[in-house]
Amino acid sequence: MGRIVTQVKLTNFVDPHKTLSMSMLVDTGAAYITLPNAWRDSLGEIEQLAELEVEMADQSHRTGSVCGPLRVKIGGFRPSMAEVLFLDMQPDEEGEYEPILGYIALEQAGAAVDMLGRRLVHVKRVDLK
């Protein structure tokens, strides 16, 4: 599978002046929007809802903080409210982090992955079965 990267804007629900806009890697194997702890303060005061133990792609385990709610705007899709998982992350060689966009936020925004086109597409119907 190829990489799908999309623009995402996160806004503090209580203080809309606190925002982050970034490119995020779409990862349908991840549940949450996952950001580095280093960015947490830039979103202002957001409630910590839980601490979770998470399993990483390399099968290692870490503890992360689930915080929210945040307003999430993924590209041209409808905005939604979501929780964000903050983890200790190491930047790459250029000093950049790779935030992850998981499937919960994708579903809330009405976005699906087009594997052949390597892009996000609008969901036409919501499955309520």
Cα 79 to Cα 109: distance, rounded to the nearest angstrom = 6
Q: Is the peptide bond before 79 cis (omega within 30 degrees of 0)?
A: no
**Mean pLDDT confidence for 123-129:** 83
Cα 31 to Cα 75: distance, rounded to the nearest angstrom = 19
Q: What pLDDT was estimated at residue 11?
A: 98
The domain spans of the chain are 5-122
pLDDT tens-place string over residues 24-61: 999 999 999 999 999 999 999 999 999 999 998 889 99
Global confidence as pTM: 0.92
Q: What pLDDT was estimated at residue 79?
A: 97
Quickly name the fold that domain 5-122 has: Cathepsin D, subunit A; domain 1 (2.40.70)
Sign of the dihedral through C-alpha 39, 41, 45, 48: positive
**Mean pLDDT confidence for 90-112:** 95
